[in-house]
Structure 1
Amino acid sequence: MFRSLEWRTNSIKVEDAEEGRVLIKEFDVVKPTLIFTLYNIACFVDNLLNLSIVKTEDYYFPSLRERVENEVKAREILSGLGVKCPKIHWRKENVICMEYIDGKTVLELYRDGSLEEVYDVSKRIGFEVRKVHEAGYAFVDCRAENYIMRDNGEIYRLDLEFFTKKTRFRSLCDIVTYDVSILGLSEDKCMTAIRGFHDGYGRKLSKTELAYISLFSSIYPLSLKEGVDEIANRASNALTLLKESIKDLNLLKLLKSLTSKMEE
């Protein structure tokens, strides 16, 4: 279902080699072009809403060469921050051969694990993302599928081709893509994961992030071939987040107050 729109932007193969089991990633050109066209449109709209349309630092359209180089540079930076990533064995113009990490993606872990596990792992990821942002960098794409956990509890960060210097909008993208990626979970696990991530990151969701989550979640199922249950969960969880934001803003009280004044 909608396979041509899948978010995976590259060809991935797992093979046996002298180094052991390896993952070979061949970089695609077409899908990232489409994704970053959407990214830059969203960036334009965001700058427009913030009255900073001439601000160009948020726009980002990495070339194929830059995406490959980002994978290498990111590992050098992240290793210094204590963030684990698969080692690169070799690379060519548009291909990277890296260490194969045996384990579950964090999204799979959330589906199968307990609420306590979901909270703990999500909090660890939120703390790591905060460290990366404080160091001046951003992933741009921070979905739960881009993390994998080994049986020993070590969490590895995958897919670093969009890793770049931090801006306000790129940091926002990290938070939004993470939260959107877990909306298809059951409500208890989704809200637990969001709470854990933001506890680790050090702050709650902002109104701007909630708005982008609501918008992006409506098109997200097209990319992941989600089933009926996941799509239903996504809609329900997005609505729950919106309701919570309304409570936080006391909009309901304000509306009631205005209504009572009009009646007087």
Structure 2
Amino acid sequence: METAKREPSEGNSAVRELIGKGAEAYIYKEGGYVIKVRESKGYRHPELDAKLRKTRTKKEATALEKCRCAGIPCPEMKTYTESAIVMEYIEGKRLSEIFEESGSGKKREYAGKCGVLLAEMHKIGLCHGDYALTNLVEHNGVIRPIDFGLCEFSTYYEKKAADLAVMYSSMKDEEAFNTFIEEYKARYSDSEEVVRRFEKNLTRGRYKKR
């Protein structure tokens, strides 16, 4: 697993392909798997760096496990270490692309599915942290959430309202977002307070469309 912490060489690129690079992790694809490796940061104290990578990796791995147990179709995790996670690679198209190509009816259909999916996550106390169309993949008619790197387990309504805010900023379609909220409220018993917090912050101008 340690070799995954470096970008693959030319000779190895056909086996392990770098497909993404975020603020704290490299994302590789190898066969039918994704390997997400949290990089060591030279500007951090070594002990703090190791602790942060271990804690964040563990939290993300726990989120994937809990989602799978709850029937939420996130990537299936195969294994993880203190700084890396190996998980299923999901074939499909990101909803951000689908929305650009779809009419209003199709957008509302997908938006409703997104609302149901978020409700199921909030039921188990999981806030995604970046619940945007770019982090949702459609595969064989099923919407599957990816990238739990910013996830957090929380009972705070404000944290859950932040997930609604990210989707509001991402969706850019009022009708579709209204459908998203309707389905979310229909599936989650504490949704009224979450939506109230979201709307309060929206009125204050805290949320803007991207």
Same structural fold, with TM-score higher than 0.5 when normalized by the shorter chain? yes
Give the structure 2 partner of residue 139 of structure 1.
128
Aligned residues: 171
Higher helix proportion (structure 1 or 2): 1
Give the structure 2 partner of residue 90 of structure 1.
79
Cα deviation for residue 180 of structure 1 reads 1.0
Cα deviation for residue 28 of structure 1 reads 4.5
Partner secondary structure for residue 63 of structure 1: helix
2:142 is the counterpart of 1:154: yes
Of 119-128 and 201-210, more deviation after overlay is shown by: 201-210
Give the structure 2 partner of residue 207 of structure 1.
199
Cα deviation for residue 176 of structure 1 reads 0.6
CA distance, structure 1, for counterparts of residue 57 and residue 80 of structure 2: 8
Cα deviation for residue 140 of structure 1 reads 2.5
For CA contacts below 8 A with separation 6 or more, give which structure has more relative contact order.
1
CA distance, structure 2, for counterparts of residue 77 and residue 179 of structure 1: 25
Letter in 1 for 2:34: L
Cα deviation for residue 103 of structure 1 reads 0.5
Cα deviation for residue 109 of structure 1 reads 1.3
Cα deviation for residue 25 of structure 1 reads 1.4
> Would you say the 8 A contact 1:148–1:157 is kept in 2?
yes
CA distance, structure 2, for counterparts of residue 215 and residue 74 of structure 1: 27
CA distance, structure 1, for counterparts of residue 165 and residue 39 of structure 2: 24
Partner secondary structure for residue 148 of structure 1: strand
CA distance, structure 1, for counterparts of residue 134 and residue 184 of structure 2: 18
Q: Percent identity?
A: 20
Which residue among 59, 82, 88 is the counterpart of 1:70?
59
CA distance, structure 1, for counterparts of residue 76 and residue 114 of structure 2: 20
Cα deviation for residue 80 of structure 1 reads 3.2
Give the structure 2 partner of residue 123 of structure 1.
112
Question: TM-score scaled to structure 2, two decimals?
Answer: 0.70
CA distance, structure 2, for counterparts of residue 8 and residue 216 of structure 1: 23
Give the structure 1 partner of residue 159 of structure 2.
170
Cα deviation for residue 27 of structure 1 reads 2.1
Q: Which deviations, in whole Å up to 9, do the C-alpha atoms of 1:36-89 show, x marking residues without a partner?
A: xxxxxxxxxxxxxxxxxxxxxxxxxx9322221122211222123321011122
Cα deviation for residue 168 of structure 1 reads 1.6
Cα deviation for residue 211 of structure 1 reads 4.0
Q: 1:79 to 1:141 in 2, by over 3 A?
A: same
Q: 1:28 to 1:147 in 2, by over 3 A?
A: farther
Q: Which deviations, in whole Å up to 9, do the C-alpha atoms of 1:82-129 show, x marking residues without a partner?
A: 210111223222222211111111111111223222111111111221
Q: Which deviations, in whole Å up to 9, do the C-alpha atoms of 1:120-173 show, x marking residues without a partner?
A: 1111111221232233332222122111111x1111111123231231221111
> Would you say the 8 A contact 1:175–1:209 is kept in 2?
no
Give the structure 2 partner of residue 24 of structure 1.
35
RMSD: 2.7
Runs of at least 5 residues in structure 2 that lack an aligned partner in the other structure = 1-20, 45-50, 186-191
2:181 is the counterpart of 1:198: yes
Partner secondary structure for residue 102 of structure 1: coil
Q: 1:84 to 1:67 in 2, by over 3 A?
A: same
Letter in 2 for 1:22: Y
Q: Which deviations, in whole Å up to 9, do the C-alpha atoms of 1:221-250 show, x marking residues without a partner?
A: xxxxxxxxxxxxx58xxxxxxxxxxxxxxx
> Would you say the 8 A contact 2:131–2:166 is kept in 1?
yes
Give the structure 1 partner of residue 169 of structure 2.
180
